[in-house]
Amino acid sequence: MSVLLALARLRKSFGDRMLLDLGELVIEAGQAYVITGDNGAGKTTLLRILAGLEPADIEGLRIEGVAHNGAQVSRQIVYVHQHPYLFQSSVARNIAYGLRARGIDGVKRERLVEEAIAWAGVGHLRNVPPSKLSGGEKQRVAMARAKVLGPRLFLLDEPTANLDGEARAQTIALIRQLVQDKNSLLIACHDRELIELPGTRRFHLENGKLTEV
């Protein structure tokens, strides 16, 4: 597999406390990774840094061989929040948001949105105000909103946290589909089923260090 993302070193501290001090990190294209670690280990912070949402001391970040700084990655990497925020419009407009930001025209945009809606199984929610959605439905809409952009890398932050029963199963099914379709994913999680998902590799984050296990 080719290298999607490589960084030579990443450090992040809060005051005197060094939260992350990673050496070389390589993410292969088409590979899914889970990141495990205790609460507060820095999993969310790492994903946010990679998404360009959090500043950090980064050396040698390259995406598909091209050098980047942390703030330039937002069109290639999509971060899905643990508790996704949906804009105060319809589900369909939420899914179309990133496409609009990329200037994708109406007909193509509508087709892509319909495909994403069908993929996530949220067709019946198309015109429902986001505030009426359950946590599981919001997570699936957020996954569709990310997938429709065809990002180089998905960053999923605890996607099944606070979900149970069918909502959790549906979210895991979507992630399984992304893994099977050879998308690149980095998933911070505690969920045993996600950790053991076939086709994934596992990093463990402890004391600011990331090790593959």
Partner 1 sequence: MDTIAESVRLLFGGDRELWGIIFISLNVALLGLVLATPPGIALGYVLAMRRFRGRRTLVVVMQSLLSFPTVVVGLVLYLLLSRQGPFGSLELLFTQEAMVIGQAILVFPIIVAHTVSAVQGADARAHETAVSLGASPLRAAVTLLNETRFALMTGVVNGFGRAISEVGCALMIGGNIAGVTRNITTAIALETSKGEFAQGIALGVVLVVLALGINLIMAVMQGEGGMK
Residues that bind partner 1 (CB under 8 A): 51-53, 74-75, 78-79, 81, 83-85, 87-88, 97-98, 101-102, 129-131, 145-146, 149
Check if the beta carbon of residue 190 is closer than 8 Å to that of residue 36. yes
Whose Cβ is closer to partner 1: residue 106's or residue 129's?
A: 129
For residues 66 and 77, what is the distance between their CA atoms, to the nearest angstrom? Answer: 14
Q: Give the nearer residue to partner 1 in terms of CB position, either 32 or 80.
A: 80
Q: How far is the CB of 41 from partner 1 (least distance, A)?
A: 21
What is the smallest separation between the CB atom of 79 and partner 1, expressed in angstroms? 4
Least distance between partner 1 and beta carbon 201 (Å): 24
Closer residue to partner 1, CB minimum distance, 52 or 208: 52
d(CA 56, CA 48): 10
Q: What is the closest distance, in whole angstroms, from the C-beta atom of residue 206 to partner 1 in the complex?
A: 26
**Alpha carbon distance 7, 158 (integer Å):** 23
Per-residue three-class SS string for 89-127: CCHHHHHHHHHHHCCCCHHHHHHHHHHHHHHHCCHHHCC
Of residues 11 and 93, the one with the C-beta less far from partner 1? 93
CB of 80 to partner 1, least distance (A): 8
Longest dimension (CA), the chain: 52
To 10 degrees, what angle do helices 165-180 and 106-120 make? Answer: 120
In degrees and rounded to multiples of 5, residue 57 shows phi and psi of -90, 100
Pick the closer one to partner 1 by CB: 145 or 168. Answer: 145
Would you say 20 or 95 has its CB closer to partner 1? 95
Minimum separation from the CB atom of position 196 to partner 1 (A): 28
Strands 153-157 and 185-188 come out as parallel
Q: E-assigned strands of 117-196?
A: 153-157, 185-188
